[in-house]
Structure 1
């Protein structure tokens, strides 16, 4: 599988150069392309984006308001894919801060081609009130990309993005989310759910109060609430579970748990099997929790979603899941004992241990 960074390449640079040249014939396309492509090979994705953005800064007309106008006219005339347009948003993030109105106008034009969620962060830091006013305008815009940007760009824990101290206070962005939680577009609602999930990690009580308000409205908010509370559900938070219709203390039992094989190499797979039975009818959120061995002792447990089930009284439900123990980009595995627990409605009801061996 190709690495994402390889999408920032000679072809993506050429597409951007050609698009700018169509609206601004004086743009030195060949010089820009040569500068943008120089030294890309060893660089990571965001480093490549920065190099191309720097080449834009060296070749677009100046001052920034003129460059911003050229970029707006470019995307109005020629649709760009994400890989061609992303460096343009990065250029605005770095070089437009002295001209917030022109910069925000430019980001609003670019975001439907390559999301400006990263590029908006410096403006929230440097021009907070000005930028928040613009986000509220975008939250009412007919363009779903702008509505999503209002939520996604202001997420307190947006992955890959710089942290903005202003956004640590959830009251700054909840009024935005209130406008968007029942948006007609799933694309926007997913961002709202992820934003509220961010808030649950630092301000769970505020997030739960907001979720309760939204849940009472019905419509598309029901999915948003369920997705937004996923981290609290995995933690077994009783109030989050109750809001979603799960009883933390439900009479549910796990029996016959097996995790096989009991010993396997890194890269191997286990089969988790057990029986779930409720003494009375119950709605069950079923997860399994893996306690990984670390280089210096056990790591924090990782919760994996297994299933949800409506259990009839006394009727057993057989559940099976396979889990592969393999390295991923954010977690390298280590040999040693690993424990797998079965968690139902936030309570651990059974567990078993396996041994992971070095080598794949």
Structure 2
């Protein structure tokens, strides 16, 4: 799979440069392309490439933000005419241009970001305004949560997240995440799924360090619709994985229920790097009534320091009939992935049902 930074291919840059020359005839297409791809462009990672593109614009447009605004909006207009869709990640540099030239011009910045975020999300850009204009930015985001455009409403939730992936940290938000509860309330039942999804992610962020806020927010929101209940499960996913009894009870998972005659077996107790761990588990529902269960498995991965790090994987949910026998077969791959480094040695696996660990088995991971 090609690295994400390769979205900025030579062909893509050539097209951007051509459009720029149409916006500003003083800029020659070839010169603009050459400026972007100056050494060490090939060695740049994604964020560095985004930064280089923004800086290239400012090399030619060395003006205050309000002077750049009409050119920036014309650029977006021409790109749309070419068929470039809105909410388009590669063009996120347009928001960087706003930040780099307008961090001290709050009013102009907000006016422009309100437009550019529709074309390419300003969720990362707005974080810099939190750092420099905290109170004004909080108020602006609350106003945007009532905006007619869904991508602007999404910005109000996404850009204010306590833990935004790739976004700069805002300590004041982590210290007091409740400042954005009005925004989350405004957007919780938004008509647009992408907005509701952002609210769920925002709530999941909060649950990592202040779970009581999230539990309280969610407790009276169940049963309105199937889609909103789905968003609730997404919002509470971190707490569900941590076996929080309150979160589990919201979805009618009985944490006191335990299976009978539980068995966990591994096809092999020793596997090599690149192979899969094949396992099977089975049990009986001893109850005389239907039981809703949430099924997960937890692997204890051996770490470089010799300690064990645990990761939960969800298998799904099922409603068991009275006295029903249940069996499940699963394979967990140990093929190389970019997000995890495997170390040879003793590992462990356990099955988790409704937040309770039922049984643990050990296996050994061997070098191939």
Scaled by the length of structure 1, the TM-score of the pair is 0.94
Separation of aligned partners in 1, 2:115 and 2:26: 22
| Counterpart check, 1:136 vs 2:142 | yes
Match of 2:332 in 1: 323
- Secondary structure of the residue that 1:173 maps to in structure 2? helix
Q: Which runs of 5+ in 1 are unaligned?
A: none
Deviations 1:78-127 (A, max 9, x none): 32463541222222233320112222222222223222111111012211
Deviations 1:127-185 (A, max 9, x none): 12222222223222222211111111111111111101221112111111111111111
Q: CA deviation at 1:219?
A: 6.1
Runs of 4+ in 1 over 6 A off after TM superposition: none
| Counterpart check, 1:146 vs 2:147 | no
Match of 2:358 in 1: 349
Separation of aligned partners in 2, 1:269 and 1:263: 10
For residues 274-353 of structure 1, what are the structure 2 equivalents within 5 Å? 274-280=281-287, 281-353=290-362
Match of 2:6 in 1: 6
**1:173 maps to which of 177, 180, 183:** 180
Pick which of 202-211 and 125-134 moved more: 125-134
Q: CA deviation at 1:61?
A: 4.8
Q: CA deviation at 1:312?
A: 1.2
Q: CA deviation at 1:195?
A: 0.7
Deviations 1:282-302 (A, max 9, x none): 111110000001121233200
Match of 2:49 in 1: 48
For residues 212-251 of structure 1, what are the structure 2 equivalents within 5 Å? 212-215=219-222, 217-218=224-225, 220-251=227-258
Separation of aligned partners in 1, 2:51 and 2:338: 22
Q: How many residues align?
A: 359
Separation of aligned partners in 2, 1:67 and 1:14: 22
Scaled by the length of structure 2, the TM-score of the pair is 0.92
8 Å CA contact 2:118, 2:151 repeated in 1: yes
Separation of aligned partners in 1, 2:195 and 2:320: 33
Separation of aligned partners in 1, 2:45 and 2:326: 47
Pick which of 114-123 and 55-64 moved more: 55-64
Separation of aligned partners in 1, 2:202 and 2:260: 34
Deviations 1:208-239 (A, max 9, x none): 10111332654643121111111111111101
For residues 87-98 of structure 1, what are the structure 2 equivalents within 5 Å? 87-98=93-104
Structure 1's 163 and 34: CA in aligned 2 closer, same or farther, altered over 3 A? same
Structure 1's 12 and 60: CA in aligned 2 closer, same or farther, altered over 3 A? farther
Structure 1's 50 and 28: CA in aligned 2 closer, same or farther, altered over 3 A? same
**2:118 maps to which of 102, 112, 118:** 112
Q: CA deviation at 1:330?
A: 2.7
Match of 2:34 in 1: 34
Separation of aligned partners in 2, 1:40 and 1:10: 11
Q: Which runs of 5+ in 2 are unaligned?
A: none
Separation of aligned partners in 2, 1:163 and 1:62: 29
Pick which of 75-84 and 188-197 moved more: 75-84
